[in-house]
Structure 1
Amino acid sequence: MNATACIRFVASATGTGDQRLFFWVMRFMWSKMNRVRRDSVDRSRSNCNVVLNRHRWMLIALLLSSCHQGGPTFSDIAPVELPPQFSPVRAPRPHQGSEAWWLALNDSQLNSIVARVEQGNLTVAQARERLAAAAAISHSASSGFLPNVGLSGSATGSSSRTKVEDISRRPAQLNLETGWEIALFGQDKLAQQSANLDRYMAAEDVNAAKLSVAAEAATSYVRLRALQHQRQNVDLLSSAKAKARDVATLRSKSGLATRFEAQAASEDSAAMAQQKRLLENAIADEIQCIAVLQGVKEGDATLSAMRPQPVASNARVTAVPADVLRQRPDIRRAEFAVLKTGAEVGIATSDLYPKLHLSGMIGIGSPVSGSIFGIMGGPSLQMPIFDYGKRLDVVEAKKAQWREVVAAYRQAVLVAHGEASSALRALLAARLETARAKSAYATAQKGSAQAKLLSREGLSDASALVVRQIEAAETRRQLTEAMKDEAEALIALAKAAGGSFSAEAPGIATSSEKRRKSGS
């Protein structure tokens, strides 16, 4: 089977679109090569044809490099299973990092901690180095399809004294070599796109690491302040328990109560001391956790001083539109993974068709009878004909991988939507609990004040006052826990929404707001 028959066979079997153009050009090239061979009898005329054909090869190479073999793209996904407000193609992408969500907690020390965590955290540092590596690789991803130049030299010994005219076979030679693999069907663009998408995914890994460690630091800080308030509350409760123990002891001695009541009161007082020690350990653990997140071994001594709890009730959160979820780093990374795998499908498909190489060499060699200089070069064509279906299997494998990342993308969106919805429900429930705890604490404080007034006027005994004080301390403990839970729920919602819990984010509105504006 000659080359022309090979071209016709492959073109009829596989060529469509850009591939048909390619095979037409191949036939044109073959006819020109035959013409050069027929004219090679006249040496001077052959040299002229060689020069002209070099220009033809260059023109043909430029034409073929404009062909493009694309793969599946992100627009090929049918998002029928996605939330109704989610539009991966037409919706404007929210600006990443446009909102510092921790500012809603209105705590200056927390702001400083988050800033130090983002700068010094070692997990974030690792992600940054992976991003630097991906950026370096993407810088020259398509260089393999550009002309390259190299210098080589060789020397061989032989017993023969025959002088060799062939520049590539001279015993001693120094060569300046150049080669160019023509990027047919957009191979260079696909390779560059794949490398760029690797860099984009690495950037999203950095964003994900920042979001994760910032959320961990904020959660540890919220827990630290809650523990400190619980320790203070234990001090108040311990004082009330000590008074209850004294009252029970006095009543036991006067025969108004049994000795078991006095013993139980003493055990409650001792339990308060043990609880205080546990809280001290927990406080130290949270300070150490914050230090580790900041990338240092020693905790900040200023964190030991008690400060007010972060208040999450001031943050305005009504709903999380589905479009907001698109700024989650894992969702954005999944989008880029779909595009990258689509580019790999295009690269694998382009391997089904012939490859064209241009090469040349300028050499200095000896011994020769004529000139020591030599020039040689020309095109080479690699044509896949029979490979037992290996290239087709690679294409099918890449397509299967593309379908896999599409499924992973859809799964990531559904999981994100579920996490945000769950976090929003948890936040609303925590706010109701905080409001209830505030009301209960206010009522308990009033009862304690009234009992103190009655005891001072002699209208009530000391035991009633102790009971009221214990009730007030218990409701204060519940309020502290409710405020902590609400702040943690707010952090969880911000993390689930990709760093934003506001439905009023720039350029984003819920579908009800869009309908209301359009109606007005």
Structure 2
Amino acid sequence: MTYFDRPSNIFIRVLIAALVSGCTVGPDYQRPTTDLPAKWSTELPNNQMDGKQNPQVWWQSFNDALLTSLITQARLGNRDLYQAEARIREARASRDLAIANILPSLSMNASASKNQPSNASRFGQVGQFSSAYNQFSHSLDASWEVDLWGKQRRSIESAEAGLDAAEEDLRDVLVSLYAEVAINYIDVRRYQNELIVAKESLKAQQENYDIAYWREQAGLVSRVDVLQAKQSVETTRADIPKYTSLLEQAKHGLAVLLGKQPAELNALLAQSAPIPAASNSIAIGIPADILRQRPDVRRSERELAAQTAQIGVAEAAAYPSFDLSGSIGVEALAAANLYTAAAKAFQLAVSSAWVLFDSGRIRSNVKMQTALQEQALGLYQNTILTALKEVEDSLIAYTQERQRCDALKASVTIGKDALTLAEQQYQAGTADFLTVLESQQSLLTAQNQLIESETEVASNLVTLYKALGGGWNQNEAKPVGTHS
């Protein structure tokens, strides 16, 4: 019988075989295959397609320097980004901890003690006094849990995927943040323009009221015209506080997104400006780009990979574990003899443990981790479907709102001409004041609808770029906007 055939050395053969083969239990992760359509169901007109535009900096298509500046400030000051970056540091530390667990540990120990045995101890005879003695030691200890079945390797695999998921989470925060900044900024411009329209309408209605009042004083019209004109003035005047409140709230919301106090942007946004209008050329790509560009899809895939590795961690618990330990040092009863040849001491040990019966705990844990992996797979597939839906919804909303906006522009032009004609006829006495009021109200409604539609067009375009996952550069090694 050879040395390795001895029953007492079976564990050594298992240890060597496992180290050579590099056995790793549990399923090896493979990215799920996904069938995606070749193109979007909603197509943009040919004059709105532009493959050269960069969706990673989509806000530049609005040609608004202030919007670009606000997005830059948000990247530097937003508090949600700080939290996302902290989650990356947490995931990186977790990955490093998993790597550390697979490596040996080394420690140094030193001790000095004075011992006084009892009279009844083995150092002296009962009834006799045993003298005290000193003991000194200095040792270097090492221990290593041999990763035979890949438990630690699967843990590292899971932690690496978790780190990837945390980085994608930061990118997802960036995508949402940039979109929210743009939409809030668009809302600021909307309410500014609605205020302008309301004040201009109030001024025109006040002038018509003055005309009606003078004509009533001259006996040319009845008191009804004056009352109707006054009602129109007060109705429009009531809109101004509403728009002012909405404007200030939009400014405050924008400031918080930038990590500033609510009133810090008041001076910067005091001057009114038109609603941002993007160029007609839009780069939407193909549905397959969703898998590469959308951080939430990428994050969900990495979470699936992390959970798949956890199955291997759970399965490894069913196999025996092996620990190697050793200690080398010196021991002596006198400090002067501590570092002499005679004081040398060492210890080598191999230990193993194998759970033979645990009432099904390991098996249940494997089933639980497998069920969690199936949930992660379902979440990943659903995230893709949701992403496709959001792009399709945004495309149809954007294209249809552009058509509505074009029609409202024509309506406003016609409304202005109709009001001018009605005012001229009223002053000439060939039309009643009701015609003027109806023309004023119709124009005001059309102007507000146009502002609303221009806001929707811009916001829908921002939402479209968000749905496409625009706002970060996948070629960068580090996520854009990190503060560390």
Aligned: 1:215 with 2:171:
no
Aligned residue among 241, 247, 251 for 2:205: 241
Alignment-derived partner of residue 88 in structure 2: 131
Alignment-derived partner of residue 203 in structure 1: 167
Q: Distance in 1 between matches of 2:298 and 2:158?
A: 15
Contact 1:290 1:299 (C-alpha < 8 Å) held by counterparts: no
Q: Distance in 1 between matches of 2:15 and 2:448?
A: 82
Question: CA 1:199–1:345 in structure 2 vs 1: closer, same or farther (change >3 Å)?
Answer: same
Aligned: 1:232 with 2:196:
yes
- Could you state the TM-score of these two structures normalised by the residue count of structure 2? 0.80
Structure 1, residues 391-438: CA drift from partner, whole Å, max 9, x if none?
111111111111111111122222222222112111112111111111
Alignment-derived partner of residue 380 in structure 1: 351
Q: Distance in 2 between matches of 1:409 and 1:394?
A: 22
- Answer 1 or 2: which has greater helix percent: 1
Contact 2:138 2:331 (C-alpha < 8 Å) held by counterparts: yes
Aligned: 1:349 with 2:305:
no
State, as a whole percentage, how many aligned pairs show the same letter: 25
Question: CA 1:419–1:218 in structure 2 vs 1: closer, same or farther (change >3 Å)?
Answer: same
- Could you state the TM-score of these two structures normalised by the residue count of structure 1? 0.75
Question: CA 1:246–1:325 in structure 2 vs 1: closer, same or farther (change >3 Å)?
Answer: farther
Aligned CA RMSD, in angstroms, stands at 3.5
Contact 1:148 1:178 (C-alpha < 8 Å) held by counterparts: yes
Deviation of 1:209 after TM superposition, in Å, equals 1.4
- Worse-superposed segment, 355-364 or 331-340: 355-364
Contact 1:240 1:470 (C-alpha < 8 Å) held by counterparts: no
Contact 1:325 1:416 (C-alpha < 8 Å) held by counterparts: no
Alignment-derived partner of residue 175 in structure 1: 139
Aligned residue among 385, 390, 400 for 2:361: 390
Question: CA 1:395–1:156 in structure 2 vs 1: closer, same or farther (change >3 Å)?
Answer: farther
Alignment-derived partner of residue 389 in structure 2: 418
Contact 1:345 1:398 (C-alpha < 8 Å) held by counterparts: yes
Alignment-derived partner of residue 122 in structure 1: 79
Deviation of 1:240 after TM superposition, in Å, equals 2.1
Aligned residue among 142, 148, 152 for 2:105: 148
Question: CA 1:225–1:315 in structure 2 vs 1: closer, same or farther (change >3 Å)?
Answer: farther
Question: CA 1:314–1:265 in structure 2 vs 1: closer, same or farther (change >3 Å)?
Answer: same
Question: CA 1:261–1:268 in structure 2 vs 1: closer, same or farther (change >3 Å)?
Answer: same
Alignment-derived partner of residue 38 in structure 1: none
- Worse-superposed segment, 288-297 or 439-448: 439-448
Deviation of 1:133 after TM superposition, in Å, equals 2.0
Aligned: 1:193 with 2:157:
yes
Question: CA 1:381–1:179 in structure 2 vs 1: closer, same or farther (change >3 Å)?
Answer: same
Question: CA 1:156–1:134 in structure 2 vs 1: closer, same or farther (change >3 Å)?
Answer: farther
Question: CA 1:460–1:466 in structure 2 vs 1: closer, same or farther (change >3 Å)?
Answer: farther
Alignment-derived partner of residue 104 in structure 1: 61
Alignment-derived partner of residue 299 in structure 1: 264
Aligned: 1:371 with 2:342:
yes
Aligned residue among 247, 255, 259 for 2:223: 259
Alignment-derived partner of residue 340 in structure 1: 306
Q: Distance in 2 between matches of 1:346 and 1:420?
A: 37
Deviation of 1:34 after TM superposition, in Å, equals 5.6
Secondary structure at the residue paired with 2:269? helix
Aligned residue among 447, 467, 470 for 1:476: 447
* Superposition pairs of residues 279-318 of structure 1, within 5 angstroms: 279-297=243-261, 298-300=263-265, 301-312=267-278, 314-316=280-282
Aligned length: 437
Q: Distance in 1 between matches of 2:468 and 2:439?
A: 43
Aligned residue among 327, 338, 343 for 2:293: 327
Question: CA 1:120–1:137 in structure 2 vs 1: closer, same or farther (change >3 Å)?
Answer: same
Secondary structure at the residue paired with 1:303? coil
Q: Distance in 2 between matches of 1:196 and 1:156?
A: 50
Amino acid at match of 1:121: N
- Worse-superposed segment, 468-477 or 377-386: 468-477
Deviation of 1:234 after TM superposition, in Å, equals 0.8
Alignment-derived partner of residue 270 in structure 1: 234
- Worse-superposed segment, 234-243 or 491-500: 491-500
- Worse-superposed segment, 125-134 or 306-315: 306-315
Contact 2:178 2:471 (C-alpha < 8 Å) held by counterparts: no
Q: Distance in 2 between matches of 1:431 and 1:188?
A: 56
Deviation of 1:245 after TM superposition, in Å, equals 2.1
Deviation of 1:487 after TM superposition, in Å, equals 0.9
Alignment-derived partner of residue 514 in structure 1: none
Unaligned runs of at least 5 residues, structure 2: 40-53, 125-133, 476-484
Question: CA 1:294–1:129 in structure 2 vs 1: closer, same or farther (change >3 Å)?
Answer: same
Contact 1:83 1:414 (C-alpha < 8 Å) held by counterparts: no
Deviation of 1:448 after TM superposition, in Å, equals 4.7
Contact 1:238 1:273 (C-alpha < 8 Å) held by counterparts: yes
Q: Distance in 1 between matches of 2:330 and 2:77?
A: 58
Question: CA 1:98–1:180 in structure 2 vs 1: closer, same or farther (change >3 Å)?
Answer: farther
Question: CA 1:29–1:439 in structure 2 vs 1: closer, same or farther (change >3 Å)?
Answer: farther
Amino acid at match of 1:481: E
Alignment-derived partner of residue 71 in structure 1: 27
Contact 1:127 1:209 (C-alpha < 8 Å) held by counterparts: yes
- Worse-superposed segment, 287-296 or 415-424: 415-424
Alignment-derived partner of residue 513 in structure 1: none
Q: Distance in 2 between matches of 1:58 and 1:73?
A: 26
Deviation of 1:137 after TM superposition, in Å, equals 2.6
Secondary structure at the residue paired with 2:359? coil
Aligned residue among 381, 390, 406 for 1:435: 406
Contact 2:320 2:353 (C-alpha < 8 Å) held by counterparts: yes
Question: CA 1:318–1:405 in structure 2 vs 1: closer, same or farther (change >3 Å)?
Answer: closer
Deviation of 1:475 after TM superposition, in Å, equals 2.5
Question: CA 1:29–1:434 in structure 2 vs 1: closer, same or farther (change >3 Å)?
Answer: farther
Q: Distance in 1 between matches of 2:3 and 2:185?
A: 73
Deviation of 1:255 after TM superposition, in Å, equals 5.4
Alignment-derived partner of residue 42 in structure 1: none
Amino acid at match of 2:143: G
Amino acid at match of 2:146: I
- Worse-superposed segment, 313-322 or 392-401: 313-322
Unaligned runs of at least 5 residues, structure 1: 1-26, 36-52, 87-96, 164-169, 507-520
Deviation of 1:345 after TM superposition, in Å, equals 0.4
Q: Distance in 1 between matches of 2:114 and 2:315?
A: 43
